[in-house]
């Protein structure tokens, strides 16, 4: 308003000017706010990566666990078949004992069932071994997955502490948040080495 050469500022502009002067307390708060915002953005991006890797790893754990269950079920089927063939073999051996005159007819079936039992047993044992291998791989991958889950917890704590820092302007909270973030990054690194 320069009607007489005098210029006045509205009250909100006057309150804003001291906050932007170099060295003012408000500038330091703004600087801390910027650091907190950058820190939070970096952690959020890193957390998204850790979360994706953890989800991918969990899918692998479940895939191997399902494979172990499937192979175990197939092995059980083979052992049931083995029992059925074994029962037939015993019946043929009993038939030879009860009707020795027809032993020639039963001997060919006995030889057939003995051969079948051997191949069925080898198939069942191979399936059990595959089940154990899949179970072992599932357990091996579950360890780094757990580390990634804990790393995510540390990252989320760090983000929460950064948010509280932005509200309270307590820089020591920001330091604890950085330590929590460092712990999360360290656990993620360990998990990556174990994969």
CB 185 within 8 A of CB 49: no
Domains of the chain, residue spans: 36-194
Averaged pLDDT, 183-189: 93
**Banded model confidence at residue 127, pLDDT cuts 50, 70, 90:** very high
If one compares 110 and 22, the residue with the highest pLDDT of the two is 110
**Banded model confidence at residue 7, pLDDT cuts 50, 70, 90:** low
Report the alpha-carbon distance of residue 110 to residue 195 in Å, rounded: 51
Q: Which two tokens stand for residue 33?
A: 């706010």
Q: What is the gyration radius of the CA atoms in the chain, in angstroms?
A: 36
pLDDT at 108 (0 to 100):
86
CB 154 within 8 A of CB 181: yes
pLDDT at 60 (0 to 100):
94
Q: Which two tokens stand for residue 178?
A: 């950085």
Considering the entire predicted model, what is its pTM? 0.68
**Banded model confidence at residue 78, pLDDT cuts 50, 70, 90:** very high
**Banded model confidence at residue 9, pLDDT cuts 50, 70, 90:** low
């Amino acid at each position: 308003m320069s009607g007489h050469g005098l210029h006045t500022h509205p009250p909100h502009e006057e309150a804003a000017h001291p906050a932007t002067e170099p060295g003012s307390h408000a500038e330091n708060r703004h600087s801390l706010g910027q650091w907190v915002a950058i820190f939070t953005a970096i952690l959020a991006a890193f957390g998204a990566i850790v979360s994706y890797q953890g989800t991918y790893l969990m899918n692998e754990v479940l895939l191997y666990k399902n494979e172990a269950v499937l192979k175990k079920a197939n092995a059980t089927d083979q052992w049931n078949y083995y029992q059925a063939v074994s029962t037939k073999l015993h019946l043929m051996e009993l038939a030879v004992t009860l009707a020795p005159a027809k032993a020639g007819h039963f001997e060919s079936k006995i030889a057939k069932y003995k051969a079948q039992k051997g191949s069925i047993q080898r198939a069942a044992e191979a399936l059990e071994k595959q089940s154990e291998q899949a179970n072992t791989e599932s357990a091996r991958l579950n360890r780094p997955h757990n580390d990634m889950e804990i790393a995510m917890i540390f990252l989320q704590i760090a983000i929460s502490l950064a948010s509280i820092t932005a509200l309270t302007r307590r820089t020591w909270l920001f330091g604890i948040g950085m330590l929590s973030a460092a712990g999360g990054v360290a656990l993620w690194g360990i998990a990556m080495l174990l994969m």
